[in-house]
């Protein structure tokens, strides 16, 4: 099979999903372009109405983390066909639907998060369980992605040699932070048209990249870790319009440019996939089910995406008709990135053996080669740009996660409507305190070695997807909307997650039996795995009870609102 054919199949399938299935969902559930959105009604702080492309940029850059590149490349060990099918089927009918529905439900409920929506339609216990899970999940993401970014920006090799591409990428990122604030002030006070905003954004992006390459900053990974956490604090507490929103918009040009370059490279070079379509049901003692569906998360369906849709993007949507582009469209573009990564790594395989090196190294080398071969970009400049693009995948996700983690903690301790806050609630709902606590614990996990719990990260992410889909199904039924299209995805994701977690627990007990058990690693994994299983069963139990109830009378202002 050649790469061009695979790419064309993917693009046609995703186009059918966006222009066909997503439009049908939009018409089925109802969209009112004349109804004021939460962003317009509550403007200020976390609420910042923006045009659809700015919101799309925020959603896309926030959800497009390391997963769309690493997941498909790792899953290619089963062959390129299983990975491709899961990304297309999962992207069109699972992931994009979840992201769009989460955004839709939040906008229809005052911009509230999924956890708060669950309280309305499932109950307070369900809300507390869900929010606790979300907050703990964000700590894992903060620890992992911050460590990844710090190591990417590390300007020194183990022998002390300076690494110019890494240092330049770090410098570009620092300039991006300052440039984003300036761009945010420009947008707020000059109020340019969408066209002018685009032109200024592209010019500013090119200038910042050029300046960063010309003035590389050589810092070690420890120092970069401090810088990244300081940035996360600022991104979590500053108004959305001042830092996060403009930075995501400017980062979009880098990420979209990287994807376009990858797609063009596949079209121009039309590489042959030197990997079998299907290797087998079991590879390296790993079963295709559930490993494939856990490994490819962000490239098909990811529970984390729903936190972005309902946590930040819903507070930026200025018109309900923009939700399909933001929620469904951004996921489709992410799937394109996953397919490009799959094609590139399979084209680089030799005799059915995947290339050596990390997934990011393989991907970066190939796309940088496309820049050089197709556009004549010097090799060292191409390496700097791709290093920055790869780091941006993680950085634009982790700053969204940090803000979502802060809001999840605040919502967890929020009093019932009409109740006064206790001293403890006042402390934990304070923006600065909740941010510091979230980042401090994330930093502690980062120092302690997040790899001890990372094997369960994929399962936790997919478990979140199952819980969100179940909660959204309750919302749709409770408000008189059709929700059967969520039943299949939520059931599949629940079975995938439970199978993966039970397998993890059995492996740990196997280690105990054969004497290879290490308490500091295995003990922590066992505790987390059991906790996730119990939490999932409790949340699903409460949601299924609601799904089995007869549909109640429509709530005023909610059905087809």
Q: Which residue ranges in the chain fall short of pLDDT 70? A: 357-358, 448-456, 517-522, 524, 551-561
Q: Report d(CA 176, CA 234) in Å as an integer.
A: 14
Q: What is the pLDDT of residue 450?
A: 56
Q: Any bridge partners for residue 350, and if so which?
A: 353
Q: Are the beta carbons of 53 and 342 closer than 8 angstroms?
A: no
Q: What is the pLDDT of residue 554?
A: 45
Express each pLDDT in 71-123 by its tens digit: 898 899 999 999 999 999 999 999 999 999 999 999 999 999 988 888 888 88
Q: What is the pLDDT of residue 556?
A: 38
Express each pLDDT in 280-328 by its tens digit: 999 988 899 999 998 898 889 999 999 999 989 999 999 999 999 999 9
Q: How far is CA 194 from CA 187, 197, 236, 288, in A?
A: 10, 5, 26, 46
Q: How many CA atoms lie within 13 A of 402 on its CB side?
A: 34
Q: What is the pLDDT of residue 413?
A: 94
Q: What is the pLDDT of residue 158?
A: 86
Q: Are the beta carbons of 267 and 197 closer than 8 angstroms?
A: no
Q: What is the pLDDT of residue 449?
A: 61
Q: Report d(CA 409, CA 420) in Å as an integer.
A: 18
Q: How many CA atoms lie within 13 A of 451 on its CB side?
A: 3
Q: Does an H or E element contain 241, and which? A: none
Q: Report d(CA 283, CA 263) in Å as an integer.
A: 29
Q: Report d(CA 100, CA 404) in Å as an integer.
A: 18
Q: Which residues, in sequence order, are CB contacts of 334 under 8 Å at separation 6+?
A: 60, 63, 64, 68, 91, 95, 298, 299
Q: Are the beta carbons of 368 and 383 closer than 8 angstroms?
A: yes
Long-range contacts of 210-213 (CB under 8 A, 24+ apart): 211/171, 211/172, 211/175, 212/168, 212/169, 212/171, 212/172, 212/173, 212/174, 212/175, 212/384, 212/388, 213/168, 213/171, 213/172, 213/381, 213/384, 213/385
Q: Are the beta carbons of 52 and 324 closer than 8 angstroms?
A: no
pTM: 0.89
Q: Are the beta carbons of 100 and 485 closer than 8 angstroms?
A: no
Q: Chain-centre distance of CA 28, in angstroms?
A: 27
Cis ω on the peptide bond leading into residue 290 (within 30° of 0)? yes
Q: What is the pLDDT of residue 521?
A: 61
Q: How far is CA 549 from CA 82, 213, 454, 474, in A?
A: 38, 60, 38, 10
- Please state at what angle helix 359-375 crosses helix 67-75, rounded to 10 degrees: 110
* Percentage, residues of the chain above pLDDT 70: 95
Q: φ, ψ for residue 447 (rounded to 5)?
A: -70, -35
Q: Report d(CA 289, CA 297) in Å as an integer.
A: 14
Q: Does an H or E element contain 76, and which? A: none
Q: What is the pLDDT of residue 128?
A: 86
**SS percent in the chain: helix, strand, coil, step 5:** 75, 0, 20
C-alpha dihedral (189, 191, 192, 198), degrees to nearest 10? 80
Q: Report d(CA 416, CA 431) in Å as an integer.
A: 18
Q: Are the beta carbons of 180 and 477 closer than 8 angstroms?
A: no
Q: φ, ψ for residue 47 (rounded to 5)?
A: -95, 120
End-to-end CA distance of the chain: 48
Q: Report d(CA 195, CA 284) in Å as an integer.
A: 51
Q: Report d(CA 97, CA 394) in Å as an integer.
A: 23
Q: Burial, 381: exposed, middle or buried (Cβ in 10 Å; 0-12, 13-18, 19+)?
A: middle
Q: Report d(CA 368, CA 378) in Å as an integer.
A: 9
Q: What is the pLDDT of residue 70?
A: 85
């Amino acid at each position: 099979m050649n790469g061009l054919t695979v790419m064309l199949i993917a693009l046609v399938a995703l186009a059918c999903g966006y222009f066909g299935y997503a439009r049908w969902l939009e018409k089925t559930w109802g969209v009112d372009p004349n109804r004021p959105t939460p962003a317009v009604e509550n403007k200020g702080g976390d609420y910042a109405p923006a045009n659809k492309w700015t919101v799309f940029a925020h959603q896309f850059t926030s959800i497009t983390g390391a997963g769309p590149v690493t997941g498909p490349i790792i899953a290619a060990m089963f062959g390129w066909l299983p990975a491709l099918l899961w990304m297309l089927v999962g992207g069109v009918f699972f992931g994009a639907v979840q992201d769009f529905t989460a955004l839709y439900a939040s906008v229809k409920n005052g911009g509230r998060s999924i956890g708060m929506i669950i309280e309305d339609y499932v109950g307070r216990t369900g809300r507390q369980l869900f929010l606790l899970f979300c907050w703990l999940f964000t700590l894992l993401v903060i620890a992992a992605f911050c460590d990844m970014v710090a190591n990417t920006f590390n300007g020194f090799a183990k022998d002390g040699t300076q690494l110019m591409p890494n240092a330049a990428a770090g410098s570009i990122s620092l300039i991006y932070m300052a440039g984003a604030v300036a761009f945010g002030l420009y947008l707020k006070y000059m109020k340019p048209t969408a066209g002018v905003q685009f032109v200024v954004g592209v010019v500013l992006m090119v200038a910042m990249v050029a300046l960063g390459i010309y003035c590389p900053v050589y810092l070690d990974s420890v120092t970069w870790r401090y810088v990244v956490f300081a940035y996360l604090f600022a991104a979590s507490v500053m108004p959305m319009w001042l830092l996060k929103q403009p930075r995501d918009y400017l980062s979009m040009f880098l990420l979209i440019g990287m994807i376009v370059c990858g797609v063009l490279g596949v079209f121009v070079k039309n590489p042959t996939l030197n990997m079998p379509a299907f290797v087998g049901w079991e590879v390296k003692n790993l079963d295709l089910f559930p490993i494939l569906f856990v490994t490819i998360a962000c490239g098909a369906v990811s529970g984390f995406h729903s936190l972005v849709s309902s946590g930040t993007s819903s507070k930026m949507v200025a018109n309900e008709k923009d939700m399909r582009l933001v929620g469904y469209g951004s996921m489709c573009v992410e799937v394109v990135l996953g397919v490009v990564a799959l094609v590139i790594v399979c084209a680089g395989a030799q005799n059915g053996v995947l290339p050596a090196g990390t997934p990011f190294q393989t991907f970066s080398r190939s796309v940088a080669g496309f820049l050089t071969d197709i556009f004549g970009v010097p090799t060292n400049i191409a390496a700097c740009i791709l290093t920055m693009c790869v780091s941006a995948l993680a950085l634009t996700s982790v700053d969204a996660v940090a803000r979502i983690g802060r809001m999840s903690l605040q919502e967890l301790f929020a009093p019932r409507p009409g109740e006064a806050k206790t001293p403890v609630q006042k402390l934990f709902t304070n923006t600065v305190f909740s941010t510091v606590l979230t980042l401090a614990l994330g930093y502690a996990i980062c120092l302690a070695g997040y790899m001890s719990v990372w094997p369960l990260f994929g399962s936790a992410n997919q478990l979140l997807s199952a819980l969100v889909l179940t909660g959204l199904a309750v919302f749709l039924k409770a408000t008189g909307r059709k929700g059967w299209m969520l039943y299949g995805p939520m059931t599949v994701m629940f079975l995938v997650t439970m199978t993966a977690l039970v397998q993890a627990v059995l492996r740990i007990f196997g280690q105990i039996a054969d004497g290879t058990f290490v308490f500091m690693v295995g003990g922590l994994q066992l505790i987390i795995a059991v906790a996730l299983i119990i939490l999932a069963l409790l949340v699903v139990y409460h949601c299924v009870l609601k799904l089995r109830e007869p549909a109640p009378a429509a709530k005023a202002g909610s059905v087809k609102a």
